[in-house]
Amino acid sequence: MRVGIGILGFGTVGGALLHKLVNEGSSVSTKTGLEIDVVRVAVRDLDKTRSVSLPADVLTEDPMEVVNHPDVQLVVEIMGGEDPAGDLVAAALRAGKPVVTANKALISSRGKELIALAEKSGVPLLFEAAVAGGIPIIRPLSETLAGEQIDRVLGIVNGTTNYILTKMAEEGAEYKAALAEAQELGYAEADPTADVSGADAAAKAAILASLAFGTWVAGDRVYTEGIERIDATDLRIAGELGYVIKLLAVAENSEAGINVRVHPTFVPADHPLAVIRGATNAVFVEGPSFDQLLFAGPGAGGAPTATAVLGDVVDAARELLAGAQVAPPIRFQPGRVLDFESASTTWYLRLEVVDRPGVLAQVAGVFGDNEVSIKSVWQEGEDDGATLLLVTHAHNEGRQRATAQALRSLDVVNNVAAVIRVEGAGPTPNL
């Protein structure tokens, strides 16, 4: 059974996908019974040397030619970005062509609109590859667990940052050196801003939350912090306390509403996410019926993402040939998306302070004024200055921020050097 596909994009993921289709096509056909014929591929530069050889008439610099070509029955969008990818995907769906995409930025911003358009057109829009590379997580959330209550989703969904933090924690690597190595291995782009700032993880967190809770969460409603300020001191302290630092995507659903956030987090060493090393991704799902589920696997690089894309292509092609929609449509109900300030969080703070009597009392007074209680406090350093390390009890995020701001204006505090949230009850030092 033949299916003609058009591919928008020939970058890292596009190259890996085409390698599978061109060089391993017979294996794909044997396993699936499908003959996937690459009809058109949109590229930016026709003269560029590429990893996979294709006939010259297959390549085009006009992406709309891919969408409109009469022999293209299914469109794969892996060009990235919101523009023009969004309009191209919408055009394909309106033309009644199934679409497979790996574009997390597009799905997090226009996913609700495009999912509705796909249902109206009676064709699938599949985006398994948009979150966590080769890990199957989209289909479990949207189908397998669709009838279950999900309370919380925790995820390490950016392989670049997890690789960097692993290198820094385990080998003592400097941030810049770990980032450069990630780039050399293909885990990070030449411009790594989206990864290290947390923006990439935030887009994925929005998608996971929307599917897990059945309420659309736009990407711009996700509170986001990156890893740029994490340094060796905090990694050392985390290790001494029995924790590791991970960039976590956290989505929680309660009676009050939904809150979604991405930020560095102290994760207990005995938590399943603590052992996720290198470029591996993992998503931890919690619910009353199934307790806890962990999905883990390769989350960075072209090959794992291409694997997820190919899986969606096979599913979409089967639906196309069957002439019927197999997977149920994804639908969203109204719900309340909360600002992060209303969430309950535990904080670790590292303060550089003047080393003289009475400093701790002044610092504690600021916490008391903002109704934030301290669980643990200890001191490092001496002579010209000292470092106070504090862990709070769980409190309203807004109060925690007000406390940090007030500490910055205290004359005995030279610097609020680090603020990192803590998963669980928070560490207690052995004093």
What are the residue numbers of the active site? 204
Helices 12-23 and 25-32, axial angle in degrees (round to 10): 70
What the block records as the tokens of 2 is 């033949």
Q: How many helices (H) and strands (E) does the chain have?
A: 14, 17
* Cα–Cα distance list, 32 to 52, 74, 75, 370 (Å): 22, 16, 19, 61
The string over 214-246, giving b where at least 16 C-beta atoms fall within 10 Å of a residue's C-beta and e elsewhere, is: bbbbebebbbbbbbeebeeebbebbeebebbbb
* Cα–Cα distance list, 421 to 3, 34, 237, 265, 426 (Å): 49, 49, 14, 5, 9
What residue type is 402 in one-letter code? A
What the block records as the tokens of 294 is 């962990």
CA distance 283 to 348: 24
Q: Which of 276, 267, 264, 271 is nearest to 241 (CA)?
A: 267
Do the beta carbons of residue 221 and residue 107 sit within 8 Å? no
Residue 245 CB partners (closer than 8 Å, separation 6+):
165, 169, 230, 234, 235, 238, 264, 265, 266, 267, 420
CA distance 369 to 181: 45
Identify the residue whose tokens are 């769906």: 93
What's the alpha-carbon Rg for the chain, to the nearest Å? 24
Residue 223 CB partners (closer than 8 Å, separation 6+):
259, 260, 261, 262, 263, 339, 340
* Cα–Cα distance list, 208 to 129, 139, 212, 216, 219 (Å): 12, 11, 6, 10, 11
Quote the longest CA-to-CA distance of the chain: 81
Strand ranges inside 206-299, DSSP E: 223-224, 243-253, 258-268, 280-287, 291-298
Residue 13 CB partners (closer than 8 Å, separation 6+):
78, 102, 129, 302, 305, 306, 309
C-alpha dihedral over 10, 15, 16, 22, to 10 degrees?
110
